[in-house]
Structure 1
């Protein structure tokens, strides 16, 4: 019999992880390799949205500059006689903007350019201002400098980040159902996966609602909780793969690859915050190091669902001469 939360794929009492030929000879069952991918339209939507999210997330410093400065959206003003507010998109005075790298906000070249172009001094993209968060100088303190949270603190950033990520989160539910169909896990495992995934979605919702410039403490706490729930959910696939037979699917390999991103990024970001960030390296990479670590961890965390669904393979055992 299987373990309390683990059930073997071909049937109780059958060997796990043996060669395909031996299994066919001993059990009289044929092996059919199944791809977990959905239909072509769903696969295309999932892949395109995930790639677009990666481009958006990793390119946040560029997109912030492009929309706020290149397109001069910092100086955009809504003008209407019957609706409002009729104010500039970025209108925070320089004395209220604090650069984490020690510079004065009004001395930053791009800020001086904004002042010359607009004829205003209040050109800072403060809390929830701009298309994306301020990129003229870092706003997240000496330990972080730049972060994903600051860039997506504006409504445009929140909408694009979570909108593009939506199909990838849905893929986590899809792939769970697909794996269940083949692996047939126990009720205990199904309940745990549902609890972990539901917990992740609730915490991720609260993380997105609590902007880092309005409820910074709540934002950071639920970021941690959402990551914990997400990886508890992800590691259940590793558990199921081991129960079903490590060589009967590539689930364990996909989980391990994506876990590697996170296991590298989190310790490096911790080391950076505690030991290296205070050196004040002025280079672009020095100021954006924490941002790069965050993007690496997010890539590994949210990439597993789409990759399992698009590239996951599981061997299904069928009796010759039947359609099962």
Structure 2
């Protein structure tokens, strides 16, 4: 069992269904990655902010050692955190992350958030966060353009095969395309029926930029963080529109939510510890929704964003 691929604008093939490493405990991460590879996953979406890249790399190494896959079979994604936006900091942190993964290159390396924060040396605190070494939120001085040009140099140096961005809006994407020497291969955004962002999706499609959705299940991903908005929002798994369509097709609500995205050309990165749900998530392309069902699900849009720093009590209005 494997995932279909999306052809990126540089010719690289990216699996359309991957495994997201956000909130995967370090203690379980190596085993979970190994089991996901055994199930058929080939794309793994990580970040230094997740604090589990070393353990994820251990799972990858074990899978390669046991001949479950080769390095070239895999598509490994990681991200540049906000406190490493200064151009001279980009290559060193990328190299550190590669060392944590025990890899020679990333398949895709993306800017995590469009905000520069003060540099904090990894020897002082790692994984990084929104605050500096004194617990303050201190803006950095790097522009997004200067950071992106440093990202392009990572491609030149062979440290990553593709670069992209995450959490950018339409205006930032249009600006980026004016100065990019290497066009972004992907945009990663929060995307679920409560936050469709169709105009942003249309822009990326016109410009040949692949879109990866995170938090495909909406509030489900945020309830265990104690986020009030997550607890006060009805679960998509229980929404009558989703459950009705799932019952009709003999699928789970999770499969319907993922298929709503993948059928519209979007990549997804769900996660699960359960082998059964791992398999179900990977199998989401085994059926098709009709046009009316796709539109009915998209009609649930509330423009409701969960992954906003303001929702975590971090006073950085990135999405204002």
TM-score under structure 2 normalisation?
A: 0.22
Higher relative CO (CA 8 A, sep ≥ 6), structure 1 or 2?
1
More helix by share: 1
Max radius of gyration: which structure? 1
More strand by share: 2
